[in-house]
Structure 1
Amino acid sequence: MADSLFDWLALLLAKGMGLKGKLKLLQLAPPSVLRRWAIAGDLTGVSTRIQQQLATPDKRAIQQCLDWCESAADRHLVTLTDERYPFALKQITDPPLVLFVEGLLNAINGPGLAVVGSRRASVTTKELTAEWSRQLAAEGWVIVSGLAEGVDACAHRGALEAGLTVAVTGCGLAQCYPKRHYELSQQIRTKGALVSPFPPWEKPKRAYFPQRNRIVSGLSYGTVVMEAGLKSGSLITARLASEQGREVFAVPGSVAHPEAAGCHFLIQQGAKLVTEPVHISEELLPMGQPQAIEAAAVETELPLPKLLDSVGYEATAVDVVVARSDLPVEEVLEQLLMLELEGRVAQVPGGYVRLRGG
């Protein structure tokens, strides 16, 4: 039995199990098989409640998702095994099961560059964000952000002047948050894409925004923090980007400006200081040809991210890396050498450590 959208949505909508638990289930079998096992009561290690939800899912909720998708030609449901699923996002340890997409489907495959920052950004930073995003979009980068006030909105608007942009939302796509960005969201829909991991009817919730940030950084080969306070959600995005093995860039500001303190903190932690957009392009791709990123990533991303995730920011013994990565020791040693040459790990007494930004 082929995996259908119905099977995927049944798994997505099952309550009482988080994303990591569902991803572990998918390591056992695809959604259609999981449902068949659940119907037969053979899904061992899974609560009766979850099995019941998979065996007899909420057909009304599933139909609402399907109806949303079918109500417009530019609406799409993209599952984790769909060939249209973004390559960069699929490489993170916890990719969303299903993406709800509205707009140009090719936009979500990048090459993405996240531009994030404070909702209360200064006028100067807002102008700088729009200009940098315009320049980077003109080079071919797809500017990814979160549709929030301040830096996010300026990043989207700047990108729209010259290229593509992707907005990842902290709610379902039948909602718009903040509501004042409805017109902007429709502009993005025509020159980019709106993306959400949540069913269309889901209203914004505080708990959803870290999930949104994880997708913003996951869709991108680098994250640029334009301006941020020490408690800004942008620092969460930057941390997630670093954990995902992506580059983090930070724009310095005045030491007297509290909304620049987050960027200065990131720079102290190893983020790359940038003062103009060319620094970003040069760092991510020396020839400034973002269209080549996907081909390059296919060669280097697998299985290095799995190995990189096995190296901690504290000294990690080689045998621990071998156990975590589940790779042969010869391959681990070879890849550790490659990562060391790339400046992503360093050899220390007791093993290896992962470098900040690596």
Structure 2
Amino acid sequence: MQRDELTAWLRLMATPGVGNQSARRLLATFGLPQQIFVQSLSTLQSCVSGTQAQALIDEPPNFWKMLDQTVRWLEAPASNPNMPARVICTLGDPGYPPGLLATEDPPLLLYVEGAQQLLQNGGLAAASAHCLAMVGSRNPTPQGRANAREFAKALRESGLTIVSGLALGIDAAAHEGALAADAQPSTAATIAVVGTGLDCVYPRTNQDLATRIAHSGMLVSEYPLGTPPLAANFPKRNRIIAGLSKGTLVVEAAVASGSLITARLASEQGREVFAIPGSIHAPQSRGCHALLRQGAKLVESAQDVLEELQSLPVKSKVKTKEVAMQQLDIVSEGLANLSNQQHELLGALGFDPMGLDALVARTGWDAATLQVQLLQLELDGHVARLPGGRYQRLASG
């Protein structure tokens, strides 16, 4: 992109009072942004309000500082070949993702940071060809976190790119699973759509994760550099997560979760919505159960997602079945090493969260014996300790 073109796009984005809808109306009327800023006040008023027209005539506050910051950000990888590549993809760019372009409110431009070969080989448009969104609770159960990681890994190994929001909990676990997959590096492992500028990682604890994503996938934002983590921006970015993806898989979500916004947007865009069921006693499962009642596809394995999307070669689906069988073998080996007493305790625990008093009543054992056995099962990865003194059996157990 030439500097004068970049200047016009950024100025349009930075003009106070001119949102995406008005900007798209201006672009439809006058063409590229450069043509907007050569129009007279009266001509602009034929398309937008008088206040908006005057704002377009005036220079946005601190605009040149913003432009210089953006240019430096774009040019930085040229002096450091180890850095990920950086581009800005606009609404008029041939590389703009078609699926996102078809949504009701596509962003005017996207800041993208990612692996050099990915941005040079079709960019975000190519990367979004086989995308699945995975979203969920910021405070998942241990089993929910494990499910997100394992599903993302299996789906990535079957050819999908995992899209999520770099948040704590399910988002981070999905990104981690995709990065851990044994898959071709020629396609994006995972795409993180964030609610800040790309020079700001939120939460900060995900800084290392963001760096790894930038080298094996892509970081994407519609917000200018320097944009801090503002609460209103995170629900808004969910439309991009849904728009980039063929479908959305909700792993765990409370009834009021922002993940349900992503699922609703995906449904409104005609994309598939999937949900993993959970315990009726877990608040993190109620959002998924609500989606299932509304018609979302119930998912018990990665194969369920692949069969519904029908977008990948048969050999990829077969591979996923093989992986699932290998995982069953590993689980069987782990259970074979347990004592009879531990098997009995796991059977009494079931898969719902349960407190110590309830386990005492169910097993007839004293609390001290239970605590010893539960600690050993926890150390072996068969049981997780939950807040409030409760325990939950993990699927691996």
Q: Which residue of 1 aligns with 2:277?
A: 252
Call closer, same or farther: CA 1:41–1:68 in 2, change over 3 Å. farther
Q: Which moved more, 1:183-192 or 1:71-80?
A: 71-80
Q: Give the superposition deviation at 1:130.
A: 0.6
**Structure 1 unmatched runs, 5+:** 292-358
Secondary structure in structure 1 of the residue aligned to 2:246: strand
Q: Give the superposition deviation at 1:6.
A: 1.4
Amino acid at match of 2:43: D
* Aligned ranges 1:305-320 → 2 under 5 Å: none
Q: Which residue of 1 aligns with 2:65?
A: 60
Q: Which moved more, 1:99-108 or 1:193-202?
A: 99-108
**C-alpha separation between the residues in 2 aligned to 1:176 and 1:182?**
6
Q: Which residue of 2 aligns with 1:71?
A: 76
Deviations 1:188-224 (A, max 9, x none): 0000010000001000111101121111111101000
Maintained 8 Å contact 2:133/2:163 = yes
**C-alpha separation between the residues in 2 aligned to 1:231 and 1:41?**
46
* Aligned ranges 1:6-155 → 2 under 5 Å: 6-30=7-31, 31-37=33-39, 39=40, 41-43=42-44, 44-55=46-57, 56-57=59-60, 58-73=63-78, 74-104=85-115, 105=119, 106=123, 108-155=127-174
Q: Give the superposition deviation at 1:41.
A: 4.3
Q: Which residue of 2 aligns with 1:302?
A: none
Q: Give the superposition deviation at 1:75.
A: 1.0
Q: Which moved more, 1:28-37 or 1:117-126?
A: 28-37
Amino acid at match of 2:107: P
**C-alpha separation between the residues in 1 aligned to 2:158 and 2:169?**
23
Q: Which residue of 1 aligns with 2:201?
A: 176
Q: Which residue of 1 aligns with 2:218?
A: 193
Amino acid at match of 1:259: Q
Maintained 8 Å contact 1:133/1:159 = yes
**C-alpha separation between the residues in 2 aligned to 1:145 and 1:267?**
21
Deviations 1:109-164 (A, max 9, x none): 34211000001111111111111101111111110000001100000000001241
Call closer, same or farther: CA 1:90–1:290 in 2, change over 3 Å. farther
Deviations 1:25-59 (A, max 9, x none): 2221221221111x554212423443344333423
Say whether residues 1:224 and 2:249 are aligned partners: yes
Maintained 8 Å contact 2:280/2:286 = yes
Amino acid at match of 1:96: P
Q: Which residue of 2 aligns with 1:324?
A: none
**C-alpha separation between the residues in 2 aligned to 1:16 and 1:290?**
51
Maintained 8 Å contact 2:135/2:164 = yes
Call closer, same or farther: CA 1:219–1:290 in 2, change over 3 Å. farther
- RMSD of aligned alpha carbons: 2.0
**C-alpha separation between the residues in 2 aligned to 1:271 and 1:240?**
13
Corresponding pairs, count: 289
Say whether residues 1:268 and 2:293 are aligned partners: yes
Call closer, same or farther: CA 1:45–1:28 in 2, change over 3 Å. closer
Call closer, same or farther: CA 1:246–1:59 in 2, change over 3 Å. same
Maintained 8 Å contact 2:197/2:226 = yes
Amino acid at match of 2:266: A
Give the share of equivalent positions with the same residue, in percent: 44
**C-alpha separation between the residues in 1 aligned to 2:298 and 2:28?**
39
Q: Which moved more, 1:158-167 or 1:173-182?
A: 158-167
Q: Which residue of 1 aligns with 2:305?
A: 280
Amino acid at match of 2:101: K
Maintained 8 Å contact 1:100/1:197 = yes
* Aligned ranges 1:319-358 → 2 under 5 Å: none
Deviations 1:48-78 (A, max 9, x none): 4433443334232223222222222511111
